[in-house]
């Protein structure tokens, strides 16, 4: 399981507690990942947390079919909002070029 936008690892920790075999943690924030590493030190040591990766979504630095499931808790709205804002800014900037 990939926990994309894992934050401090709360959801991944719960999944491991309820029987999920292995997780990989991915987040753009080094501070959040450090807290996740601290919180999940035992699971990292035992190998149940496969990797802790710093990466910015929406790109996922793994090939297709790497994970059985990908979880996007509380992060997808930020990706969508970011895309909407970028599209608005691109449209506005283009219209400004044509009107000046």
pLDDT digit string (tens) for 42-54? Answer: 999 999 999 999 9
Domains and CATH numbers, the chain: 2-99 (3.40.50.150)
Decide if pLDDT at 95 tops 50.
no
Q: What pLDDT is attached to residue 90?
A: 56
pTM: 0.76
Task: Classify 34 as helix, strand or coil.
Answer: helix
Structure tokens at 2: 């990939």
Question: Which of 60, 58, 8, 56 minimizes the C-alpha distance to 31?
Answer: 8
């Amino acid at each position: 399981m990939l926990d994309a936008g894992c934050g401090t690892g709360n959801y991944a920790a719960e999944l491991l507690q309820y029987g999920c075999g292995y997780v990989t943690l991915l987040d753009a924030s080094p501070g959040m990942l450090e807290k996740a590493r601290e919180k999940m030190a035992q699971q990292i040591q035992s190998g149940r947390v496969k990797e802790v990766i710093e990466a910015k979504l929406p790109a996922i630095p793994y090939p297709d079919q790497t994970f059985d499931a990908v979880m996007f808790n509380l992060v997808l709205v930020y990706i969508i909002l970011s895309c909407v804002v970028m599209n608005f800014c691109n449209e506005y900037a283009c219209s400004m070029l044509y009107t000046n």
